[in-house]
């Protein structure tokens, strides 16, 4: 299945999972506005801004252009596995 046949939430998840192997990704929303939650070991030792940059860099192509399917990330939650467990 190509990325073009996936729903936008599946595309978001696929791109983040490709950029952050082993990450637990949840994405929901519609109308171009989405909520994304990512739990990844890659976030260990990073501040909030650096965590968010990792996620945004993975989905930047979905946000590019006037007809981008991803208009806004209304909420972005980034946690390490320890933060998610505690």
Question: Could you read off the pLDDT of 38-78 as tens digits, one per residue?
Answer: 999 999 999 999 999 999 999 999 999 888 888 889 999 99
Strand order in the sheet with 33-39: 24-30, 33-39, 72-79
**With contact defined as beta carbons under 8 Å apart, do 20 and 53 qualify?**
no
pLDDT beyond 60 at 25: yes
- Rounded Cα distance, 84 and 16, in Å: 17
Name the CATH code of domain 3-85 (choices 3.30.420.40, 3.40.50.720, 3.40.50.620, 3.30.300.90): 3.30.300.90
**Which residues, listed in sequence order, are joined to residue 26 by a DSSP beta bridge?**
37
Would you state the pLDDT for residue 66? Answer: 84
pTM over 0.85: yes
Q: Residue 3: pLDDT band by 50, 70, 90 thresholds?
A: low
Domain chopping of the chain, boundaries: 3-85
Would you state the pLDDT for residue 71? Answer: 87
């Amino acid at each position: 299945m190509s990325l073009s046949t996936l729903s936008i939430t599946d595309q978001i998840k696929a791109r983040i999972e490709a950029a952050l192997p082993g990450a637990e990704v949840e994405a929901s929303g519609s109308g171009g506005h989405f909520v994304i939650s990512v739990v990844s070991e890659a976030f260990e030792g990073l501040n909030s801004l650096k965590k968010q940059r990792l996620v945004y860099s993975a989905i930047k192509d979905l946000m590019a252009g006037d007809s981008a399917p991803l208009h806004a990330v209304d909420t972005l939650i980034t946690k390490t596995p320890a933060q998610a467990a505690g």
